[in-house]
Structure 1
Amino acid sequence: MPDQNRDQELFERLVKHIGEFVESDVSHLTPHSHLATSIEGMSSLKMVELLLYLEDCFELEFEESAVGRMETMQDLVDYVRDLQDTEQQPV
């Protein structure tokens, strides 16, 4: 079961980084916000660029197929959390 505090912290970090990337206020975003329609100027190309930016911010490597699975902010939170968990597991 996901840790709600951790998810909230991830959500806040994502909102901060997304705001920096799009250079506008995205404080209106909620976990249920749709990325394509809730962020001004977001296109499929811009979404790929955003994910590349977030890879650098979180020091993670997203799968190429991840773009199609990212519909809402919560999807993004879940994906980043799961990647972080995978990265921390010993090999």
Structure 2
Amino acid sequence: MPESIAVLDACVLYPAPIRDLLLNLADFDLFAPKWTDEIQKEWTRNLLANRPDLLSSQLNRTIEAMNKAFPESNVKNYRFEKTAHDRNAGFRSFFKDWA
């Protein structure tokens, strides 16, 4: 298990080349990828809005493949905290109760 954890937000899951690159790096155990159902819904919703040639069933297969390849990555129990002072505080505490 890699020591480093990276939250793959919608902005890096939306473009397929970046998503594929990051998941390949994670497959080499360079980091443990993490995401939530909300993150998955965000990137798929936006991609479907911008790419009418794609079907939701296609993207659902992508999500299923991601969850199968990285079964520990889809975080269910988390607490997201965001403060006015630090926009990244939420990501630092993303796994506060989980990790």
Higher relative contact order (CA 8 A, sep 6+): 1
TM-score with structure 2 setting the length:
0.30
Q: Which has the higher strand share?
A: 2
Larger radius of gyration between Structure 1 and Structure 2: 2
